[in-house]
């Protein structure tokens, strides 16, 4: 079981700017707003498409059953203020009524899984290096390992998907080299392959992040080794004298 580090637990206790959720959750909601707006969805005849998509992105972050629509009003307002299409067709209270209907009636049956984006945001916020990631000597490789770690936390007991193209974007390198980075993390026993896909399937391999790489042991310096040897000799002498 993967446990959060102390700094993550501490941040989880801090409230975000709206004072509704913790800092990390509010950051993910902000990201969902950006993603929905970036899709530049045109309003159709029904007119609820942008709001529905926003709900699709929100559902994996905050389950509707635990968070009624009125608690999300500040975020819906922010979404409304940034979405030109909605502002051109509706007043805010109308959008809130649409959101209320979709959210509280749990009409989103197929949420949009933005776990990959959420995992990357969380990975970039990690400051402490986990013991099983100490072997990552360069920051791009550590970023990929942190990403896999965070993605597994989001997916729970289900396998995660990691493609060489995705890894390449995360590391900022060529996808063919990124494939070797994934293989390296697997060889170090942080990733365990669950299903290998055939190239013709054009699908990413499935893995579990198990985090079993050995922590890096501190190397004993030559001076330190001599001091240790001398201490052993001294201890033996004292025991003989006794």
**pLDDT value for 7:** 45
Contact between residue 79 and residue 33 where contact means Cβ atoms under 8 Å apart: yes
Question: pLDDT tens for residues 61-104?
Answer: 888 888 999 999 999 999 999 998 888 889 999 999 999 999 99
Estimate the crossing angle of helix 92-104 against helix 73-82, to 10 degrees. Answer: 130
Lowest mean pLDDT among 50-54, 142-146, 171-175, 213-217: 213-217
How far apart, in whole angstroms, are the C-alpha atoms of residue 72 and residue 84?
20
Average pLDDT over all residues of the chain: 80
Report all structural domains of the chain as residue ranges with CATH numbers, in order of start: 15-104 (no CATH), 115-209 (1.10.10)
Output the pTM of the full model: 0.50
Residue 201 has pLDDT above 70, yes or no: no
Lowest mean pLDDT among 115-119, 215-219, 225-229: 225-229
- 22-51 CB burial, b ≥16 within 10 A, e <16: eebbbbbbbbbbeebbeeebebeeeebebb
**pLDDT value for 166:** 83
Residue 4: band (very low, low, confident or very high) from pLDDT cuts 50, 70, 90 = very low
């Amino acid at each position: 079981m993967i446990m959060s580090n102390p700094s993550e637990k501490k941040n989880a206790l801090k409230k975000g700017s709206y004072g509704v959720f913790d800092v990390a959750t509010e950051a993910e909601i902000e990201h969902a707003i950006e993603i929905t707006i970036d899709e530049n969805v045109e309003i159709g005849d029904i007119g609820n498409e942008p709001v529905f998509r926003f709900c699709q992105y929100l559902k994996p972050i905050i389950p509707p059953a635990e968070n009624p629509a009125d608690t999300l009003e500040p975020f819906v307002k922010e979404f409304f203020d940034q979405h030109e299409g909605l502002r051109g067709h509706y007043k805010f209270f109308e959008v809130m009524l649409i959101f209320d209907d979709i959210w509280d009636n749990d009409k989103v049956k197929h949420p949009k899984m933005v776990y990959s984006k959420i995992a990357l945001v969380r990975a970039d916020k990690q400051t402490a290096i986990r013991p099983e990631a100490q072997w990552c000597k360069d920051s791009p490789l550590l970023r990929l390992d942190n990403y896999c770690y965070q993605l597994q936390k989001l997916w729970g007991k289900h396998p995660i998907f990691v493609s060489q193209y995705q890894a390449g974007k995360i590391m900022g390198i060529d996808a063919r080299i990124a494939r070797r980075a994934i293989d390296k993390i697997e060889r170090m026993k942080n990733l365990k392959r669950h299903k290998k896909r055939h190239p013709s399937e054009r699908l990413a391999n499935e893995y579990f992040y198990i985090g079993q790489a050995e922590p890096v042991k501190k190397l004993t310096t030559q001076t330190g080794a001599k001091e240790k040897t001398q201490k052993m000799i001294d201890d033996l002498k004292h025991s003989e004298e006794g």
